Amino acid sequence: MKYFKDIPEVKYEGPQSDNPFAFKYYNPEEIIDGKPLKDHLRFAIAYWHTFCATGSDPFGQPTINRPWDRFSNPMDNAKARVEAAFEFFEKLNVPFFCFHDRDIAPEGENLRETNKNLDEIVSMIKEYLKTSKTKVLWGTANLFSHPRYVHGAATSCNADVFAYAAAQVKKALEVTKELGGENYVFWGGREGYETLLNTDMELELDNLARFLHMAVDYAKEIGFDGQFLIEPKPKEPTKHQYDFDAAHVYGFLKKYDLDKYFKLNIEVNHATLAGHDFHHELRFARINNMLGSIDANMGDLLLGWDTDQFPTDVRLTTLAMYEVVKAGGFDKGGLNFDAKVRRGSFELEDLVIGHIAGMDAFAKGFKIAYKLVKEAVFDKFIEERYRSYKEGIGAKIVSGQADFKMLEVYALNLSKIENKSGKQELLEMILNKYMFSE
Amino acid sequence: MKYFKDIPEVKYEGPQSDNPFAFKYYNPEEIIDGKPLKDHLRFAIAYWHTFCATGSDPFGQPTINRPWDRFSNPMDNAKARVEAAFEFFEKLNVPFFCFHDRDIAPEGENLRETNKNLDEIVSMIKEYLKTSKTKVLWGTANLFSHPRYVHGAATSCNADVFAYAAAQVKKALEVTKELGGENYVFWGGREGYETLLNTDMELELDNLARFLHMAVDYAKEIGFDGQFLIEPKPKEPTKHQYDFDAAHVYGFLKKYDLDKYFKLNIEVNHATLAGHDFHHELRFARINNMLGSIDANMGDLLLGWDTDQFPTDVRLTTLAMYEVVKAGGFDKGGLNFDAKVRRGSFELEDLVIGHIAGMDAFAKGFKIAYKLVKEAVFDKFIEERYRSYKEGIGAKIVSGQADFKMLEVYALNLSKIENKSGKQELLEMILNKYMFSE
Amino acid sequence: MKYFKDIPEVKYEGPQSDNPFAFKYYNPEEIIDGKPLKDHLRFAIAYWHTFCATGSDPFGQPTINRPWDRFSNPMDNAKARVEAAFEFFEKLNVPFFCFHDRDIAPEGENLRETNKNLDEIVSMIKEYLKTSKTKVLWGTANLFSHPRYVHGAATSCNADVFAYAAAQVKKALEVTKELGGENYVFWGGREGYETLLNTDMELELDNLARFLHMAVDYAKEIGFDGQFLIEPKPKEPTKHQYDFDAAHVYGFLKKYDLDKYFKLNIEVNHATLAGHDFHHELRFARINNMLGSIDANMGDLLLGWDTDQFPTDVRLTTLAMYEVVKAGGFDKGGLNFDAKVRRGSFELEDLVIGHIAGMDAFAKGFKIAYKLVKEAVFDKFIEERYRSYKEGIGAKIVSGQADFKMLEVYALNLSKIENKSGKQELLEMILNKYMFSE
Amino acid sequence: MKYFKDIPEVKYEGPQSDNPFAFKYYNPEEIIDGKPLKDHLRFAIAYWHTFCATGSDPFGQPTINRPWDRFSNPMDNAKARVEAAFEFFEKLNVPFFCFHDRDIAPEGENLRETNKNLDEIVSMIKEYLKTSKTKVLWGTANLFSHPRYVHGAATSCNADVFAYAAAQVKKALEVTKELGGENYVFWGGREGYETLLNTDMELELDNLARFLHMAVDYAKEIGFDGQFLIEPKPKEPTKHQYDFDAAHVYGFLKKYDLDKYFKLNIEVNHATLAGHDFHHELRFARINNMLGSIDANMGDLLLGWDTDQFPTDVRLTTLAMYEVVKAGGFDKGGLNFDAKVRRGSFELEDLVIGHIAGMDAFAKGFKIAYKLVKEAVFDKFIEERYRSYKEGIGAKIVSGQADFKMLEVYALNLSKIENKSGKQELLEMILNKYMFSE
Ligand SMILES: [Co+2]
Ligand SMILES: [Co+2]
Ligand SMILES: [Co+2]
Ligand SMILES: [Co+2]
Ligand SMILES: [Co+2]
Ligand SMILES: [Co+2]
Ligand SMILES: [Co+2]
Ligand SMILES: [Co+2]
């Protein structure tokens, strides 16, 4: 069965196109800096939102009814979903997808049956991968939906749950390896607490570290050489999630000697829920050599939950891609659309349009960012701004030759301190020129 | 003395210009829809931020030292400030400015002396206005800085303070009339409370209404026919400000029969502090025929206070101007830059650059919005979306011919309800096309 | 079948009791000011949370499996739920409950069948009411869960949906009347918008008003003399809900001449999501004679969604009951526990414990508040604070004899303005004494 | 001169006292667990707020005029302030105070003169300390108020500023040592950024670490053995402060090998601005052995800036003291009232009342917390909740004997996972009992 037969293949038609099913800014084969745009952006589809979302919310029932969800048997639906997925990947000519174990195959009566379900679908996907241009960016395990994870997985108060989660991640690692996944992601969906009154935070964090060490060990054992990623999120679904933001995760990894094994998967809407610009989280990750991958979406800053909207704000995508370009581009990571159509956008074509809008917004942002970096627009300003650390007392400070006594002598003899304007307004004016005057 | 002698006159040079002292998108004389751009946008300078701001904040001393603040006598400074202001207005070729009484002339030993100070500066400004191309958009009274207003002005617990505030507004109305101001604004700087434990909210709101009625009466008496405006703000400086947002003010005006005399002056950063998109506040004002004027700036949505940044986000200015264009443009109102340079942008040229950046962002936004309205891009979609209210049962509902019993009969006989997608992603895609594909 | 057979009847045992199934502060028959405590507090159970909630959230499946949800036929479950409900009411000796139409009876194949289902359960409840001490505080219609309401109900872009909603409210009014409900509540679950780009806000608000007028007319027609209530909420589930907060609703009701028919049902967590203290919303409602009823719960102020926790913060309940006592107590309204056990509190006894904790917190708060009001603790302070409006110029202002000219003369002759401290710290100290020194 | 002559000495009078100048819950000499209450609580006065605050805010002039600020010469004021301070300390019988260098002595024409000013006041304070019962809890340097710090101090883009800051901290360390200070605090008032567009975040953080290492080295050199503390704050005054919250600081200290030299000074209002409960920040600090000291105040969670209110919420103080008691009490740290009277509380007695209210709230909170810990109320529940990690597979996980393969075998053989309720409602009910039933 063809699921998207009414949707034409999505091609690049350029900025003047009025075709909602065409790219206006994303030309996958356009060569920039010796590399096609598709390899700069490494777009991925999020299996869960794109193929599993129903439009339900805490106040309402599903609004979305996909044609691949037409069977009574969950395994039949799972297979139809694979068909639909690869048809969709081809339609959008997208190089990657990402998945949770439970997105692709349903839970069975027990773990053994669940794993069997998973194996069956993995085989099917493997067949598709042989001929498809689309590959696996990353896999992960869903350790938050099932009621067994009500109090967390690796941070559950129940050791049986920890064990079950371990078994599930073991399998997910195997599956990710088998499907050629380039990364493996941990998003601690319920790794947090609801109230400190009932929580042994120290034990929970120690256990989380134990869990991740076991994952690292097992990956070595099976020869999985993908990149491990942690995706921070501050406060949903639990009241406090341990992987609150990039800096929280960084400190955690340092504490437990895990920092050499993990990078970060930064999501736009998780950044803002934590009180940070997305730009900030990427910068933090970049300067700490932790920028692994991106969950591309957009939040509503006036709402207090993760809306996971398709990213269409080009100022946002420009500043994001600025950090990626400065980091030298993605290594194993990419831009995964952890985004869902609005509950009211329940038609099949909205799914395609949402992705096109997001891909165009990131392509446009990339092009602006690339030019800003290539022309060293902000770099030159910054170099000049911090020039005092290149010579004299500044150079001594940076090279470790200065101490408080030397600096006091210097300060006592300073006649006057001259600061210069930080020029925020000018820099924003220049950013607008690069955004709008091409 | 020339204060901006190192700054060239700011002219339109077009989108490709690299000159920070040129407009890239704002061409004041460009005719759109039979009217020059300057008359569509009606830009105004905020006297307080632009000529009085010092860069101090709750944690630090001033960083800004303007050349017109060089005297020891406050009246000398006030006069120098007038000189500087009109030089600045000319440099930027800006059609309007706005002021508080205390921005332009300092408080004296007592009210009589204060009024005398004000009269002296008003005479001086009047002279300038004779030959200047710049006019007064609006005046207002500062009823929040002096310690007498610690518990509010019209809502003070102290009747003497109410009386003093009344005297001050009386004078400010006279002065605004004398200077040809097209509007008079009330921003209730301390009209709110810190704690309900000590507050008679009912009396305070009644008093606020009494105060505004007196202002209306006095304006009639002196023949001031400018538009009265209220500027909502939710929570700064007091913990709760009575004029919380557009809808709060609307209800207040209705309650006290003041709605026919007042429109709204909507500020971007006040909208977002109240939990609303700026777009929302403008829409609310527009459909209630209350859209008077705009305080143009930009906030940081991750910060909880009024940052009053220069507006450079073109998505924001586009959606704002969309509402203005749909409202038929400004009548007496305009775009007042209630914006200040960052504390670190303390150089004189930053002041010019900030305004250029803001004016360009609004000019660009206006052009995009104008095209969106002219081509009825969203209007056509909306007309189609609500078509069911043009005929059949919908037309009966709208015309008042339907009641619950008729509708129940109709509903009982409905075979199936068909909803259509709201198409948010598509509409955002189209918005981007209009923003980036010109 | 007995559902709560392991739970003893909940009785008052006093503050020293360690029994989790006893009231420590709520003694229903305790006479205060000539009236038993139960009549001051008028507690109600929310049928939806208490009997229908499953613990599912956007990231996880149900954790709660109630014994009354054991049937495959929804009507069988609905009947078992009624049995469980009245057993629960008796166990807690609670005087009221509240319900949505869809809480008590399931949707059928079409409206006719749905109404038939409803009738059947209503008959059953009516039987129970004959002998039960528990009555109906209010009824309402669920106009948000079913996908037909994806774009709103009375504010839907689809006139068929408006009609269907009208039919549903017509029936809900009839049912509420039949069950002796003292109020009827409108919570506009989807009356709002997701994006202004696709929204005709003016038409939607006009339609909402038309809908409410029809409800008023129909209530008159059938002789339903319960109080109509609107429950404000700012931003969930839609991005912007029209009934944002008390002041928004007030302005809306004024605009459409609906204010004489409606009061407010204020919910704690909705107040805080709108940026207001619960205390504030109650004060606003009280001074505008709009304080109808309360949805008693508690939010987490660091989370951006409606957590609907059981209220256990006695400072919160004290300040809330302060306003209720000042208002002269509830008329037809009451304290409805629109609160749900945490997802991790999935045991049956948690349901009982949550309610006891909430009832005790409100009983304790009431007692403190009652004493504060009776001893005029804050009233005396406030009277003194605003004394200047009782005489001289203040009395002239309040009585309408003052104008700007008179006030200017007065102000010009004022020698000095003397303000007094607002004494917030002292008042909070006194509040603590009343809370902790009994 | 006596500054507080109208204020009686503040004594403990017990919970029934109506005397606003008496302690109701804080009896300094009451022995609990073998130690007087004053040694458990270690209250400190913040010199800046208590003796220097003026009530000015971004929208208004000072409202507070203290009698010790009556001189024209700043050094005369500084000396009068010392007199007033020690009179105040005695009046309140408070064991500690805290200060910035610039609180106690004014800046001179140059660093040399500034240091001379400081020396003069330090000598004076030293004399007072000989006979006073009040000691120095901690000292710090003000590296944020002067315009030289506009772009930061240790993170300034200007090496001269770094040097100046170093000289200032060197002196502040010497002075803190000389005055017997038990701790030295770093609050990075401007260590952050306004916009990433102009910021070399990597260099700035490296420089911050260099600065702190120099401080550690110099402290060793002069034999200062006080505890170094960092006080996190997320976003005021800069848009992003590097010491965002406890976890951010923890990661930073780990990265730069500074963690063994520093603990944290946690402030209530800074915790909440970062999106955390105060309780959370203390728990995080405690389990990482970083709980140094507390800045005791209270914020308004509906406002987005640091209000620094006097803490009067006993639920807040109870949960805070719970962590302190669990940590074994303060070592060198204490409870510093980084709190200011409201702008409207400008009378001298408000200063006394604010402190009494705060001290009583913490004393009451301590007593409740102490009982909760002593009776192991929550500890017993938690021990039982996590019991599965004491034996069987849980014990293997904790002891490092488990790996994914072993856990998979275990999970495959699990028949059913049994979770128990987290009982949040019950625990909150119990908390209320301990708060209200003594
Ligand atoms: Co994600
Ligand atoms: Co997300
Ligand atoms: Co403004
Ligand atoms: Co503002
Ligand atoms: Co409710
Ligand atoms: Co709610
Ligand atoms: Co502090
Ligand atoms: Co603070």
Amino acid of residue D317: T
Interface contact B344-A429, CB threshold 8 A: no
D157-177: average pLDDT: 98
Smallest Cα–Cα separation from B186: which of B152, B149, B230, B142? B230
Q: Give the whole-angstrom CA distance, residue D269 versus residue D275.
A: 10
Q: What angle do CA B186, B187, B192 make, to 5 degrees?
A: 120
d(CA B402, CA B409): 11
Active site residue ranges of C: 100, 103
Q: Which residue has the tokens 């077009």?
A: B14
3-class secondary structure, C58: coil
Flag if D199 and A382 touch (Cβ within 8 Å): yes
Tokens of B315: 């998505």
Residue D201 in 3-state DSSP?
Answer: helix
Which residue of chain D has the CA closest to B145? D60
Say which ligand is closest to the CA of C265.
Answer: 5
Just list the catalytic residues of B: 100, 103
The pLDDT tens digits for C99-130 are 999 999 999 999 999 999 999 999 999 999 99
pLDDT value at residue C191? 98
Cβ contact A20–B344 (<8 Å): no
Contact pairs from chain A to chain C, CB under 8 Å: 96
- CB pairs below 8 Å between A and B: how many? 134
* b/e code C197-211 from CB counts within 10 Å (16+ = b): bbbbbebbbbbbbbb
**Angle separating helix axes A314-326 and A348-374, nearest 10 degrees:** 50
Which tokens hold the place of D112?
């040399």
More confident residue, B1 or C9: C9
**Chain D CB contacts of B235 below 8 Å:** 302-303
**Per-residue pLDDT tens digits for D245-278:** 999 999 999 999 999 999 999 999 999 999 999 9
| Neighbouring residues of C196: CB distance < 8 A, sequence distance ≥ 6 | B277, B279, B280, B283, B319
Query: Closest Cα to residue D319, out of D266, D274, D398?
Result: D266
Closest in D60, D144, D149 to B237, CB measured: D60
D403: chain A residues, CB-CB within 8 Å:
214, 217-218
Closest partner CB to D237 (pick from B58, B273, B304): B58
- D246 touches D290 (CB < 8 A): yes
Angstrom distance (rounded) from CA A348 to CA A67: 9
Question: C231 CA to middle of ligand 6, Å?
Answer: 10
Centre of ligand 1 to C-alpha A138, Å, is 12
- Give me the residue label for tokens 């989108």: B15
* pLDDT the model gives residue D1: 78
| C354 CB burial (10 A radius; 0-12, 13-18, 19+) | buried
Integer CA distances (angstroms), D213 to B337, D193, D210, D259, in order: 45, 22, 5, 11
Partner D contacted by C357 (CB < 8 A): yes
Helix-helix angle C314-326:C424-436, to 10 degrees: 100
Mean pLDDT over A131-145 rounds to 98
Residues in the 5 Å CB sphere of ion ligand 3: B 267, 295, 338
Q: What is the 3-state secondary structure (H, E, C) of C325-363?
A: HHCCCCCCCCEEECCCCCCCCCCHHHHHHHHHHHHHHHH
CA distance C214 to chain D (A): 37
Question: Cα of C190 to ligand 7 centre, how many Å?
Answer: 43
Q: Sort strands C227-230 and C183-186 into parallel, antiparallel or unpaired.
A: parallel
Residues C158 and B417: their CA atoms lie apart, in Å, by: 9
How is residue A55 annotated by DSSP? -
Residues of A within 8 A of C235 (CB-CB) are: 302-303
Which residues of chain B from 105 to 164 reach within 8 Å of chain C, CB to CB?
111-112, 147-148, 150-151, 156-164
- Ligand of minimum distance to the alpha carbon of C309: 6
Cα(C269) to ligand 5 centroid in Å equals 8
- Does residue D305 sit at the B interface (CB-CB below 8 Å)? yes
- The reply to whether B308 sits in an annotated binding site is yes
Answer yes or no: is D375 a known binding residue: no
Average pLDDT over residues A32-61: 98
Average pLDDT over residues D318-325: 98
The partner residues of C22 in beta bridges, in order of sequence, read C11
| CB < 8 Å to A163, chain D | 393, 397, 402, 407, 410-411, 414
Q: What is the mean pLDDT of residues A407-423?
A: 97
Q: Are strands C35-36 and C43-46 parallel, antiparallel or unpaired?
A: unpaired
Closest residue in chain C to residue B379, using alpha carbons only: C198
Q: Please count the other Cβ atoms lying within 10 Å of the Cβ belonging to residue C50.
A: 27
Report residue C152's pLDDT band, with 50, 70 and 90 as the boundaries.
very high
* D355 marked as part of a ligand binding site: no
A402 interfacial to chain D (CB closer than 8 Å):
yes
Checking if the pLDDT of D438 tops 70, the result is no
Average pLDDT by stretches of 10, chain B with 438 residues? 93 97 98 97 98 97 97 97 98 98 97 98 98 98 98 98 98 98 97 98 98 98 98 98 98 98 98 98 98 98 98 98 98 98 98 98 98 98 98 98 98 96 98 92
Q: Please, what's the b/e burial string for C230-257 (b: 16 or more CB within 10 A of its CB; e: otherwise)?
A: bbbbbbbbbbbbbbbbbbbbbbbbbbee
Q: What distance in angstroms lies between residue A248's CA and the mean position of ligand 2's atoms?
A: 17
DSSP-assigned letters across all residues of D60-91: B------GGG--SSHHHHHHHHHHHHHHHHHH
CB contact under 8 A, C275 and B274: yes
Residue with tokens 């020690």: D86
User: Which chains are within 8 Å of D by 3+ CB pairs?
Assistant: A, B, C
C65 touches chain D (CB under 8 A): no
Query: How many whole angstroms from A306 Cα to the centroid of ligand 2?
Result: 5
B243: annotated binding-site residue?
Answer: no
- Whether C318 shows a pLDDT value over 90: the answer reads yes
Q: Which of A49, A52, A54, A63 to mutate to test the interface with C (most CBs of C within 10 A)?
A: A63
Are A431 and B350 inside 8 Å of each other by CB? no
- Chain-chain contact of B432 with A361 (C-beta, under 8 angstroms): yes
* Residue B394 amino acid letter: G
Q: Does the annotation list B270 as a binding residue? A: yes
For residue B438, what pLDDT is reported? 64
On chain D, the residues whose CB falls within 8 A of the CB of B310 are: none
Contact A310 B428 (CB under 8 A): yes
Find chain C residues with C-beta within 8 A of B248's C-beta: 247-248, 251
B8 lies within 8 A of chain A by CB: no
The beta-carbon neighbor of A303 closest among C61, C235, C300 is: C235
| Closest CA in chain B for residue A298 | B425
* Measured CA distances, A391 to A416, D1, D200 (Å): 18, 53, 17
Strand residue runs (E) in C283-425:
291-295, 335-337
Residue C438 reports pLDDT greater than 70: no
- Consecutive H or E run containing A265: strand A262-267
User: Residues with beta carbon < 5 A to ion ligand 6?
Assistant: C 269, 306, 308
Nearest CA in chain C to A343: C150
Q: Which of A160, A254, A378 sits opposite D197 (nearest CB)?
A: A378
Residue type, A437: S
A89-110 average pLDDT score: 98
- Give percent of chain D above pLDDT 70: 100
C206 and B CB contact within 8 Å? yes
Model confidence at A90: pLDDT above 70? yes
D274–A201 C-beta distance less than 8 A: no
If you average pLDDT over every residue of chain D, what do you get?
A: 98
Nearest to A313 by CA among B371, B324, B267, B316: B316
Residues in chain D with CB shorter than 8 Å from the CB of C420 are: 347
Nearest to C353 among D314, D342, D426 (CB): D426
Nearest by CB to residue D194, choosing from B55, B146, B342, is B342
Q: What CA–CA distance (Å, rounded) separates C140 from C134?
A: 18
Q: How many Cβ atoms from other residues are within 10 Å of residue D301's Cβ?
A: 16
Are the beta carbons of D101 and D141 closer than 8 angstroms? Answer: yes
Shortest CA gap A255–chain D (Å): 7
Q: With both helix axes pointing from N to C terminus, report the angle between C424-436 and D348-374 in degrees, rounded to the nearest 10.
A: 30
- By the 8 A CB rule, do B126 and B178 touch? yes
> CA of B311, closest CA in chain A: separation in Å?
9
Angstrom distance (rounded) from CA C366 to CA C324 = 9
Angle at D308 between CA D304 and CA D309, to 5 degrees: 105
